[in-house]
Amino acid sequence: MAGGDEKKSKAGGGDAKKPNAGGGAKKPNVSGGGKKKEVKKETGLGLVNRKDENFGEWYSEVVVNAELIEYYDISGCYILRPWTMAIWEEMQKFFDAEIKKMDIQNCYFPLFVSPGVLQKEKDHVEGFAPEVAWVTKSGESELEVPIAIRPTSETVMYPYYSKWIRGHRDLPLKLNQWCNVVRWEFSHPTPFIRSREFLWQEGHTAFATKAEADEEYLAIPVIKGKKSELEKFAGGLYTTSVEAFVPNTGRGIQGATSHCLGQNFAKMFEINFENEKGEKGMAWQNSWAYSTRTIGVMVMVHGDDKGLVLPPKVASVQVIVIPVPYKDADTQGIYDACSATVASLTEAGIRAKADFRDNYSPGWKYSHWELKGVPLRIEIGPKDLANNQVRAVRRDNSAKTDIPRDNLVDQVKEMLDNIQQSLFDAAKQKRDACIQTVKTWDEFVEALSQRKMIFAPWCDEEEVEVDVKARTKGEMGACKSLCSPFDQPELPEGTKCFASGKPAKKWTYWGRSY
């Protein structure tokens, strides 16, 4: 799963956020109000901005016009409309089932953290402190002690892990929660990608279990690897992640991450247990998360100038059926054929819906559902009725196919599978075309100016990364390491670090990032 994750690294604070990827803070003037009136005048629902020309404005426009998001009167907070929630529910349904298969249990810990607990792990709190929201008042009364809103729940949960874990039989302890978290960021809020409140799941396991999201689910190609010391989760031992890439902006984006917390937190929170021999042990812990941020990545990667393009697996409407009546034609027959089509597809487990609204033309409906990203459109007109067929139009490539009605379900299933795979393949191809391998600083600078995702041999030294960030700091934001892939190409003896000239230790991806 190309999950979006917002777990915090030491270096996560400022520089990477400069560029305004989404133009998100501004309210676009194309939003919903009065739309229907415009519609009656215009035939199309076209977007004003084009993805290749003005990516940030395009993104803001598409998330609003496709009714994923409504801008809210508090900056950095967004309303997740039903079209978004349906996607998130599909993702939850899938992932929650996976979680349960792994014998991980759901729980719910409080939204609030007391300052003493929050500050227990020093590196951890330093990573999060600047953007913690504090409750200091209730009604008219000042609280005796300010109380933090969780930016993540390690410090919320682990004191109780310490209490619940006594003996080896209490391990592994594997809990997950679906909840909201708050990070009061001030730089460039962008719907889904960078918001002050977001929804996620956070898994917290004491004793190792590897949790890795299915990367195919959103049809987004990702690179699995390990984060650098500078970019790892604050307070953890090491962090692995899946990294996606947005070709249009040349920016990497961290997907789902897993953090091996090692024993750092166990030490601070005294998560100890007595083993079989009666000896004292200290728990090893992992935490991992993925969030609504993934939805933003999906929009950025697959969307086009007509709007959203939803992968069938997460689309709440996979097939939209549209009647195309014509003057003298058998309108009732067409409507009945539409209803029958929806019924057959629904029965076969396909999420299908018909649009029978009589105040919109078929053409308007085509544009509307294209804007909303529905993977497959089925049109039924007089000719289709006569031939006992339907016309299917793919959202991803506009290909039209006539399907005999008695072969409907099989062919639609196949097309949906095909769309899912094509979206992944197309995204991978575009992403791969953006990857450039470099060996020297000059090549690196050149590739960065071309918005590439850069693959380079590195000495793996923290000060060198700090230096790279300092030297690339500019209007577009600094470049940083994304991850060192698990799958390492050969590194011939004598290869030098692209940045320091010292002996290289590993291949690492670099780029600007969200």
Question: Which residues 47-76 are close enough to bind a second copy by CB under 8 A?
Answer: 70, 72-74
Out of 30, 39, 133, 435, the residue judged to bind a second copy by CB under 8 A = 133
Q: Which amino acid is at 199?
A: L
Please, which residues have CB within 8 angstroms of residue 203's CB and are 6 or more apart in sequence? 99, 104, 174, 175, 176, 211, 286, 287, 288, 289
Rounded to an integer, what distance in angstroms lies between the CA atom of residue 280 and that of residue 403? Answer: 67
In the complex, the smallest distance separating the C-beta of residue 268 from a second copy, rounded to whole angstroms, is 15
Rounded to an integer, what distance in angstroms lies between the CA atom of residue 101 and that of residue 181? Answer: 25
160 binds a second copy (CB under 8 A): yes
Instruction: List 179's β-bridge partners, or say none.
Output: 200
In the complex, the smallest distance separating the C-beta of residue 209 from a second copy, rounded to whole angstroms, is 16
179 binds a second copy (CB under 8 A): yes
In the complex, the smallest distance separating the C-beta of residue 150 from a second copy, rounded to whole angstroms, is 11
**147 neighbors 134 (Cβ within 8 angstroms):** yes
Across 79-88, b (16+ Cβ under 10 Å) vs e yields ebbebbebbb
Site pattern 324..363 for a second copy (x: CB under 8 A): -----------------------------------x----
Across 427-453, b (16+ Cβ under 10 Å) vs e yields beeebeebebebeebeebeebbeebbb
41 binds a second copy (CB under 8 A): no
164 binds a second copy (CB under 8 A): yes
Out of 122, 166, 210, 400, the residue judged to bind a second copy by CB under 8 A = 166
**274 neighbors 166 (Cβ within 8 angstroms):** yes
Q: Which is nearer to a second copy, 196 or 512 (CB)?
A: 196
Distances from the Cα of 310 to the Cαs of 196, 296, 318, 495, in angstroms?
25, 12, 8, 43
Bond before 362 cis per omega within 30 degrees: no
Q: Which is nearer to a second copy, 117 or 320 (CB)?
A: 117
Q: Which is nearer to a second copy, 78 or 95 (CB)?
A: 78
Nearest CA among 344, 294, 296 for reference residue 319: 344
In the complex, the smallest distance separating the C-beta of residue 197 from a second copy, rounded to whole angstroms, is 5
Question: Which residues 82-121 are close enough to bind a second copy by CB under 8 A?
Answer: 82, 84-86, 88-89, 105-114, 117
Q: Which is nearer to a second copy, 126 or 336 (CB)?
A: 126
Rounded to an integer, what distance in angstroms lies between the CA atom of residue 327 and that of residue 147? Answer: 67
In the complex, the smallest distance separating the C-beta of residue 324 from a second copy, rounded to whole angstroms, is 21
State the Cα angle at 314 between 352 and 486, rounded to 5°.
155
* Secondary structure, 3-state, 336-357: HHHHHHHHHHHHCCCCEEECCC
In the complex, the smallest distance separating the C-beta of residue 142 from a second copy, rounded to whole angstroms, is 9
Taking phi over 0 as left and psi of -120 to 50 as alpha, with beta for the rest, 4 belongs to beta
Q: Which is nearer to a second copy, 106 or 387 (CB)?
A: 106
Q: Which is nearer to a second copy, 130 or 404 (CB)?
A: 130
In the complex, the smallest distance separating the C-beta of residue 164 from a second copy, rounded to whole angstroms, is 6
25 binds a second copy (CB under 8 A): no
In the complex, the smallest distance separating the C-beta of residue 409 from a second copy, rounded to whole angstroms, is 23
29 binds a second copy (CB under 8 A): no
Interface with a second copy (CB under 8 A), residue total 64
In the complex, the smallest distance separating the C-beta of residue 469 from a second copy, rounded to whole angstroms, is 22
Using the Cα atoms of residue 54, residue 56, residue 57 and residue 58 in order, give the sign of their dihedral: positive
Q: Which is nearer to a second copy, 30 or 237 (CB)?
A: 30
140 binds a second copy (CB under 8 A): yes
Q: Which is nearer to a second copy, 86 or 340 (CB)?
A: 86
Out of 98, 131, 270, 330, the residue judged to bind a second copy by CB under 8 A = 131
Q: Which is nearer to a second copy, 34 or 494 (CB)?
A: 34
Q: Which is nearer to a second copy, 178 or 238 (CB)?
A: 178
Rounded to an integer, what distance in angstroms lies between the CA atom of residue 87 and that of residue 108? Answer: 22
Nearest CA among 492, 500, 503, 498 for reference residue 456: 498
Nearest CA among 24, 58, 514, 61 for reference residue 291: 514
Sequence-separated contacts (24+) of 406-411 with Cβ below 8 Å: 408/341, 408/344, 408/345, 409/344, 409/345, 409/348, 409/350
33 binds a second copy (CB under 8 A): yes
Of the ranges 124-132, 200-208, 388-396, 498-506, which one interacts with a second copy (CB under 8 A)? 124-132
Rounded to an integer, what distance in angstroms lies between the CA atom of residue 231 and that of residue 229? Answer: 6
Please, which residues have CB within 8 angstroms of residue 315's CB and are 6 or more apart in sequence? 87, 90, 351, 373, 374, 375
Rounded to an integer, what distance in angstroms lies between the CA atom of residue 394 and that of residue 416? Answer: 9
In the complex, the smallest distance separating the C-beta of residue 213 from a second copy, rounded to whole angstroms, is 21
Q: Which is nearer to a second copy, 153 or 228 (CB)?
A: 153
Out of 136, 361, 398, 450, the residue judged to bind a second copy by CB under 8 A = 136
Site pattern 365..404 for a second copy (x: CB under 8 A): ----------------------------------------
Q: Which residues here bind a second copy, judged by CB under 8 A?
A: 32-34, 36-37, 70, 72-74, 77-82, 84-86, 88-89, 105-114, 117, 129-140, 146-147, 149, 159-160, 163-164, 166-167, 169-170, 175, 179-180, 182, 184, 186, 196-197, 199, 359
